[in-house]
Amino acid sequence: MNYRHVYHAGNHADVLKHIVMLRALLHLRKKDKPFLFLDAHAGTGLYALWGDEALKTLEWQDGVGRFYDPSGHAVLLEPDCEVLIEPWRQAIASVNAAGQPLSHYPGSPGFALRILRRSDRLLLNELHPEDHGKLAGFIGGDKRVTVSDGDAAVVVKAHLPPPERRGFILIDPPYEREDEARRAVRMLRDGHRRFATGAYALWYPVTGDGLSDLIAQEVLALALPKTLKAELLVRRAVKDGGLAGSGLILVNPPWPIADELAVLGPALLERLRQTEGAQWSLNWLTDQG
């Protein structure tokens, strides 16, 4: 396991993933009944943007960095989009000093914690021993949260369906192993078999090597109902050209998400585009139910 998210935290892929996941959690929170958020690949929860690792890549500067000016003030989108990303901005504000350049960026657990009510549960899983240790330290003694260090595939099977019968499951592997795309789709399948009414998000990279197409095909073959694909390319994807974009496969997304993404996607594209070939797409892979 070589992958460490600290090198990539706050990049364009994180921006898309975290904004979408926050929208999904906010919609789950609209009902009184409690829910579970299962973060199968949780990372550490919080990342320093000026640490040695982040400085090596500076990926965040073309991600979250495009939403703030050098003094840390928000560079706003149009009002209809700004409303939708407000919870994301609030979470970022909570880990940064007001009126100062950005210094930190939350991970998915950090964002989720902002949405969680007293009765909701957060199950955070991280296999890397060092990152698991950091995650456990980040969470401290929060009784709503369980931190585990298992293999995501095992954890997904072990904890679904949740007793709450309401939940959002994030599958966000590093795709460093050759079989990781297939494993990720299998995780989605296994989760859905156990908990068909849960909402799922499977993140994938677009790197010009066919991996994103393979994932879409494999997900299509599962024929799960209500599967939405949202994809943002910040430049044309070419083989060996690095992370040109990313996407999310959303199964059973809370219904306003598709409409919200139709508004947000083009704005994120304009804010995050790098060179030619940038594009946004949003389509249902299977029926909307």
Ligand X SMILES: C[S@@+](CC[C@H](N)C(=O)[O-])C[C@H]1O[C@@H](n2cnc3c(N)ncnc32)[C@H](O)[C@@H]1O
Chain positions contacting ligand X, by CB under 6 A: 1, 3, 5, 14, 17, 39, 41-43, 107-108, 125-128, 131, 151-152, 172-174
d(CA 5, CA 173): 10
Q: How many Å is the Cα radius of gyration of the chain? A: 18
- Torsional sign, CA 91, 31, 263, 272: positive
Do the Cβ atoms of 255 and 282 come closer than 8 Å? no
When the beta carbons of 152 and 278 are compared against ligand X, the nearer one is 152
d(CA 90, CA 248): 23
When the beta carbons of 58 and 220 are compared against ligand X, the nearer one is 58
When the beta carbons of 186 and 266 are compared against ligand X, the nearer one is 186
Question: Which residues fall within 8 angstroms of residue 272, CB to CB, at 6 or more apart?
Answer: 12, 15, 62, 63, 66, 232, 234, 278
Q: Is 172 a catalytic residue?
A: yes
When the beta carbons of 17 and 121 are compared against ligand X, the nearer one is 17
Q: How far is the CB of 1 from ligand X (least distance, A)?
A: 6
Q: How far is the CB of 237 from ligand X (least distance, A)?
A: 18
For the beta sheet containing 121-125, the strands, ordered from the edge strand earlier in sequence to the opposite edge, are 145-148, 121-125, 36-39, 167-171, 199-206, 245-251, 227-233, 279-284
When the beta carbons of 42 and 237 are compared against ligand X, the nearer one is 42
Q: How far is the CB of 42 from ligand X (least distance, A)?
A: 5
| Single-letter residue type at 52 | D
Q: How far is the CB of 99 from ligand X (least distance, A)?
A: 26
What residue has token string 């957060």?
A: 122
When the beta carbons of 156 and 285 are compared against ligand X, the nearer one is 156
- Measure CA 157 to chain center: 20
Q: How far is the CB of 170 from ligand X (least distance, A)?
A: 6
Beta strand 145-148 with 121-125: parallel, antiparallel or unpaired?
parallel
Q: How far is the CB of 37 from ligand X (least distance, A)?
A: 11
Beta strand 167-171 with 36-39: parallel, antiparallel or unpaired?
parallel
What residue has token string 């703030």?
A: 68
Q: Which residue number places its CB atom closest to ligand X?
A: 107
Which is catalytic among the residues 39, 142, 172, 190?
A: 172
Q: Just list the catalytic residues.
A: 172
